[in-house]
Amino acid sequence: MYQTFFNCRNIISLPVGLTNQLRFDYVTNAYRALCLCYNLNINISNCNFGNVINLNQTFQECKNITGNPFSSSKVTDMYYAYTNCSNLTGIGRCGENVIQFSYAYYGCTNISGAELCSKLTSIGLYTYAYANCNNLKSINCNANGSTLYSSVFLNSDLSKVTSMTFNGNCTNLYRAFYNIPNLNNTVNIYIGDSVTNISQAFTHCYNLKGKLSGGNNITNMAETFYNCHSLKGPPICGPQVTNMWNAYRWCHSMKGSPVCGNNVTIFWSAY
């Protein structure tokens, strides 16, 4: 279906015979299949994408399509797949073998969750994937997580997020959510065993009220929660942590006893 309905700006439904379903049963390449069909009104939850490999720009700017977005283990390319599909709902899916994810859900203002799969090995492969998404409630990141907000979630309202999970191939959360004041919900943050660096991950998130769990292999916690005035705690320090410089400094609302792992060598102004 290579560019089959590309730029058919005025179609509102599918041709006779397709009714309200679009069948991709035997299709592997859906490149630009419905790209720029601004007025198309279908529920893509009814579509069968079972064999699709290429979702590059498939639904870009289809502002009126509804339903839950799709990805699978066969999909490798989701570049601009659902850009500005503002009526999609559900979780923004990222198949386990996707290697290009940039702008995939850019401007999808009603999706409720974000996924990043482990094959996304560098930030350039998922630039602005969830930018301008304002109803996210969960983030599940299995990819490299450095500078996540500025690179992936730019201009997204994260005030409704209640859970974050970092696992898989995610090793580095350096400045992942640096200086994001609207991260102001009670967020449960789980750090998987793959993560070693959470330096400045949540620095200046003044309104963050959540708590951290996991983190068994973290080594660097420098300024992780620096200036997180609303953070409740309790604080954690994984068994591998060596650097806690300013880790919880100015966390005025922190409850629970201060902790310091056996391997910590830098503890200056930790609390």
> Tokens representing 139?
């983030």
- SS3 percent helix, strand, coil of the chain, rounded to 5, is 5, 15, 85
> Tokens representing 260?
């310091």
Distance of CA 18 to the CA centre of its chain: 33
pLDDT < 70: residue spans in the chain: 15-24
Looking at this protein, which amino acid is placed at residue 122?
S
Which pTM does this prediction carry?
Answer: 0.93
| Beta carbons within 8 Å of 180's beta carbon, 6+ residues apart | 149, 158, 202, 204, 205
Nearest Cα residue to 221 out of 163, 149, 173, 181:
173
Mean pLDDT of the chain: 92
**CA gap 50, 237 in Å, rounded:** 44
Q: 213: part of which helix (H) or strand (E)?
A: strand 211-214
Sign of CA dihedral 245, 250, 251, 255: positive
Nearest Cα residue to 58 out of 37, 89, 87:
37
Summarize pLDDT for 221-262 with one digit per residue, the tens: 999 999 999 998 789 899 999 999 999 999 999 888 899 999
Contact 185, 206 (CB under 8 A): no
Nearest Cα residue to 235 out of 267, 206, 212:
212
- CA dihedral of 201, 204, 210, 216, whole degrees rounded to 10: 30
Which pLDDT belongs to residue 25? 72
- Max Cα–Cα distance, the chain, nearest Å: 70
